[in-house]
Amino acid sequence: MILSDRYELGAIIGTGGMSDVYEANDTLLGRSVAVKMLRPELARDVKFKERFRREAQNSGRLNHSAIVQVYDTGEIDISGTAVPFIVMELVHGRTLRDIVREEGAFSPADAARILVTACEALQASHDAGIIHRDIKPANIMITNTGAVKVMDFGIARALDDSHSAMTQTSAVIGTAQYLSPEQARGKMADARSDVYSIGCVFYEMITARPPFEGESPFAIAYQHVQEDPNPPSDFIADLSPTAALNIDAVALTAMAKHPADRYQSAAEFAEDLKRVSRNAVSQAARSHLTTTDAPRRGAGAAAGAAGAAGAAALGGAADTAATQIVPVAGAGVPSSEQAYPATEVVPPIQPTGASSPVDYSGGTYNNGYENGYSTDYNDGNDDGYEEDEPKKRSAATWIIALFTVLALCVGGYFAWDYIGQGLGLSSKTEKVPDVSGQKEDEAKAKLEKLGYHVEVVQQTNPDVERGVAIKTNPAAGSSVQSSATVTLFISSGKEVTEVPDLTGKTTEEASRLLEESGLELDPVVKEEESDTVDDGAVVSQNPSAGSQVSKGTKVVITVSTGKAQVRVPTITGMKWEQAQDNITSIGLNPRVANVDSDQPEGTVVGIDGEGTSVDKGSTVTVRVSNGQMIKAPSLIGLNVSQALDALRAAGWQGSNNSLHQQQVRTGALLDQGKIANQSPNGGALVRKDGTVTVGVFVFDLLAVQP
């Protein structure tokens, strides 16, 4: 099938809930593209066509390397139905959904590094006034070259479009596992809703499970509004306390119930993800570490803080009946066996019996209930409590005896303590507390308070932040005399090393050099074309050569793919303006040569190397008609006056003197004055202002045949 006389469809490379994606060949530009076509059975539905149109419109407005580019749109008639299609950039790779399914969880650093690019793409989208509204692992792809691509703006909405045709008050559009609380409640989404969704993606990438699971989309959406997720560190092995705090703080801040408690932009989220990618302390974790009593934005490492507003959002206390989520009448409930469902349409979650505005304060929410323990202790009648005199005397006797025994015990204790210490017999011991993860000053003070003599030793550690306690000797929980010496090990951070120069090296050579320096090669190797660096050699690196970094740091390299090859497009017959766009769009530099041609002025009559492959960036010569040529009419048998008229009618603009006449002797009197021959011949090309030579018969008696 060929669309728009240009796009030749190949095999189906992807399917979705509403469309199929084909690999196709752009026969005009000679490049491979992807064509996304709405399913014919859905093309008759106005709402589906509107959503499809929105995807093309929204994606076409965006220009970012991490957003799949839209080249063209159109429609094709299939059985009387106009079926729309979108022509897009063709990318080969796997979605995050497929990678997690097949390979399991990412390391937090790798996940963060990937999502930094996705956040930057979303920020570009938000800056253009568009929110995605359906961010999920299936809509983020890692290409075969390691690039990150954000896809499917099918339900995206302009930020200023408060009356979007895709916004429904009776239903929520999105994928339940990644739906923000405000979307789940049918409220207006904004850029921070995308931040929540990408926070859910981060959670799933590092744990291999979504933050919430349930038997239906409704049950899952309910949890997004009502419940707190388990901290992701619960599902990640071998994390130090500081690393766990760091990861939990970032994930749960992004997933805070109220938008005001989240990162306020995708760019802000990206900055903390960058810190996670290099094992630095995130801003969210720093806030948690430095602020103990004052309110703070985000969840930090405590999941309760991230979701405290969730219970309030449904307007019910913890001990009240759970809100029931009921499908719209007649609607079916999707199967729970679909681990990664397509985008769903579900009814918005509303609190049962709640008529007051939603309280997102995150503070105590008692729903108007009285305190069951608020009894007035002064309530009562003293007159009802009377004892007789013997009882009072008996009580006084017992009190005196009790104080006497207590005094003897206290005196005996101090005497034993004094004598025991003097003889070296004191056996007072304390259990060494666990101070790992605490700042040096806090840990030291806690140990000294128990009477220990503290000796501080600095120790390098790749997982514990500089200045934080690693362990003690004797170990935490050991019973030790209070006067003993306890060694406190404090992290001095990672051991520092210099980054080697990897430029020009192969990937294998770069990996070996990094290993020798105690560094690691990042598994995501970037690629780019280069006119100066050989194919397969390192073009650039990050961190740069000579930088001082901690041992164990991952170094990202960009490898040359050599000079790119592009196919010279077929542009003969196009207007120059259109042809120029086609040439420059694939990275070629056109050089115009105006040539004589009978084609209309400005028409391309040829291009060097048409249909062949050349280096990207090459200069190609394009021959463009100057419109100065015409086809000469046949003048044989006409007189000179008639010949001039015929030439003028054909577009000839020469003067009468430009029609050169030569005599041709003839013995035929009737041929006198007629044209015998011409140059150029009839049908040949001649410039509009060129010279035409004709031979005119002249009667000559000597030429008469006897």
At residue 288, does pLDDT exceed 70? no
Strand 538-542, strand 554-560: pairing: antiparallel
pLDDT higher at 367 or 142: 142
- Report whether CATH 3.30.565.10 matches the domain 629-703: no
Q: Which pLDDT band, with edges at 50, 70 and 90, does 359 fall under?
A: very low
Question: What per-residue confidence (pLDDT) applies to 445?
Answer: 92
Q: Tell me: pLDDT of 160 over 50.
A: no
Hey, what CATH class is 2-88 in? Answer: alpha beta
pTM of the shown model: 0.45
Q: What is the DSSP string of 270-301?
A: HHHHHHHHTTPPPHHHHHHHH-SSS--SS-TT
DSSP class of 656: G
State mean pLDDT over 689-697.
92
What average pLDDT does this structure show over 321-347? Answer: 36
Determine contact, residues 455/485, Cβ cutoff 8 Å. Answer: yes
C-beta separation of 628 from 598 below 8 A: no
pLDDT at residue 380, rounded to an integer: 36
- Which tokens is 388 given? 């007789």
Question: Is pLDDT at 304 greater than 50 in this prediction?
Answer: no
For residues 528 and 578, the answer to whether their CB atoms sit within 8 Å is no
Region for 438 from its dihedrals, namely left if φ exceeds 0, alpha if ψ lies in -120 to 50, beta otherwise: beta
pLDDT value for 402 = 53
Q: Give the sign of the dihedral formed by CA 355, CA 360, CA 361, CA 366.
A: positive
Confidence band, pLDDT 50/70/90 cuts, at residue 667: confident
**pLDDT category of residue 87 using cuts at 50, 70 and 90:** very high
Which CATH superfamily is 95-328+341-346 part of?
Answer: Transferase(Phosphotransferase) domain 1 (1.10.510.10)
- Please state, in angstroms and as integers, the Cα–Cα distance from residue 376 to each residue in 379, 384, 493, following that order: 5, 17, 56
**What is the arithmetic mean of pLDDT over 427-452?**
88
What would the mean pLDDT of 296-301 be, rounded to a whole number? 38
Q: What is the band of 441 on the pLDDT scale with cuts at 50, 70, 90?
A: very high
> CA 73 → CA 6, 59, 82, 152, 697, distances in Å?
12, 11, 13, 15, 64
Per-residue confidence at 647, pLDDT binned at 50, 70, 90? very high
For the chain, state the CA radius of gyration: 42
Q: Please indicate if the annotation marks 149 as binding a ligand.
A: no
Type of residue found at 331: A
- The burial of 201, by beta-carbon neighbours within 10 Å (0-12 exposed, 13-18 middle, 19 or more buried), is given as buried
pLDDT: which is higher, 48 or 224: 224
Would you say the CATH fold of 430-491 matches that of 95-328+341-346? no
The structure tokens listed for 343 are: 């985008």
| Beta-bridge mates of residue 622 | 592, 607
Based on the number of CB atoms within 10 Å of its own CB, is 186 exposed (0-12), middle (13-18) or buried (19 or more)?
Answer: middle
**Average pLDDT estimate for 477-503:** 84
pLDDT number for residue 539: 92
Whole-Å CA distances, 454 to 136, 430, 443, 480: 51, 14, 10, 13
pLDDT attached to residue 561: 86
- Average pLDDT across the chain, whole number: 78
pLDDT at 17: 67
Token look-up 């073009």 returns 539
Report how far residue 38's alpha carbon sits from residue 17's, in angstroms, rounded to the nearest whole number: 10
pLDDT, one tens digit per residue, over 523-575 is 989 988 887 888 899 999 999 998 888 788 899 999 998 888 888 998 988 99
CATH of 496-560 among 3.30.10.20, 3.40.640.10, 3.60.40.10, 3.40.50.300: 3.30.10.20
Tokens of 195: 């931040």
CA 633, 637, 640 angle in degrees (round to 5)? 75
Q: Which of 76-85, 249-258, 695-704 has the lowest mean pLDDT?
A: 695-704
Residue 23's nearest CA partner among 31, 15, 36, 11 is: 11
- Inform me whether the pLDDT recorded for 129 exceeds 70: yes
Which range has the top average pLDDT, 258-272, 327-341, 409-423, 603-617? Answer: 258-272
Task: Please report, to the nearest 10 degrees, the dihedral formed by the alpha carbons of residues 303, 308, 311, 313 taken in order.
Answer: -120
pLDDT in tens, 198-221: 999 999 999 999 999 988 888 898
Burial class, 42, CB count within 10 angstroms (exposed 0-12 / middle 13-18 / buried 19+): middle
pLDDT confidence bin for 588, thresholds 50/70/90: very high
Nearest to 208 by CA among 94, 93, 96: 96
418, pLDDT greater than 60: no
Report d(CA 183, CA 180) in Å as an integer.
Answer: 5
How far is 644 from 202, CA to CA, in rounded Å?
82
pLDDT score, position 655: 87
The candidate with the shortest Cα–Cα distance to 24, out of 115, 89, 99, 97, is: 89
User: How confident is the model at residue 407, as a pLDDT?
Assistant: 52
pLDDT above 60: residue 626: yes
Query: For position 406, what pLDDT does the model report?
Result: 53
Closest CA to 210 of 219, 195, 220: 220
| Domain map (residue ranges) of the chain | 2-88, 95-328+341-346, 430-491, 496-560, 565-625, 629-703
Q: So what's the pLDDT on residue 289? A: 63
User: Of the segments 282-291, 327-336, 507-516, which one has the largest average pLDDT value?
Assistant: 507-516
Assigned CATH for 430-491: 3.30.10.20
416: Cβ contacts below 8 Å, ≥ 6 apart: none
565-625 topology per CATH: Trypsin Inhibitor V; Chain A (3.30.10)
Among all residues, which ones are annotated catalytic?
134
Please name the residues in contact with 210: beta carbons below 8 A apart, sequence gap of 6 or more.
177, 178, 200, 203, 204, 220
